[in-house]
């Protein structure tokens, strides 16, 4: 149980392209979804938290207009990296929780998306 699917797993595209990443909870309803960015040998960096039907809460320093998040249903959240540039290249991971943003419920992660901007 508690399976989260993230798609695509890898994207390589030219600078200026917008890229959409999908995160789906397959067998449970995710009250909250989280979007992280991870650099090699570094801890997970939370970018934003989204709740179904409401605006995402972005962490300090994360550009809202650059990283668009939509949480249209209890099983789907999308992250769109708009006009991506090489510095946006990274490993992006989503997670889903049946609890709220500050719940002690464990988070269930997707397998991540490796984004490479040329």
Partner 1 sequence: SQKIEQNSEALNIQEGKTATLTCNYTNYSPAYLQWYRQDPGRGPVFLLLIRENEKEKRKERLKVTFDTTLKQSLFHITASQPADSATYLCALDMGSNYQLIWGAGTKLIIKP
| Nearer to partner 1 (CB atom), residue 14 or residue 102 | 102
> Closest approach of Cβ 57 to partner 1, in Å?
9
Sheet containing 76-81: order of strands: 4-7, 19-25, 76-81, 67-73
Task: Name which of 29 and 39 has its Cβ closer to partner 1.
Answer: 39
Q: Which residues bind partner 1 (CB under 8 A)?
A: 2, 4, 6, 41-44, 46, 49, 91, 93-95, 101-102, 104, 106-112, 114
β-strand 90-97 against 113-117: which pairing, if any? antiparallel
Q: What is the DSSP letter of 41?
A: T
């Amino acid at each position: 149980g508690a399976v989260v699917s993230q798609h695509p797993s890898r994207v390589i595209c030219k600078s200026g392209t917008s890229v959409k990443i999908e995160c789906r909870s397959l067998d449970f309803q995710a009250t909250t979804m989280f979007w992280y960015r991870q650099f090699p040998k570094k801890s997970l960096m939370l970018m934003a938290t989204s709740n179904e039907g409401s605006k995402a809460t972005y962490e300090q320093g994360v550009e809202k207009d650059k990283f668009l998040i939509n949480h249209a249903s209890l099983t789907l959240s999308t992250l769109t990296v708009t006009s991506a540039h090489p510095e946006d290249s990274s490993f992006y991971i989503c997670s889903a929780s049946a609890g709220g943003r500050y719940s002690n419920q464990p988070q269930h992660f997707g397998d991540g998306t490796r984004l490479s901007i040329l």
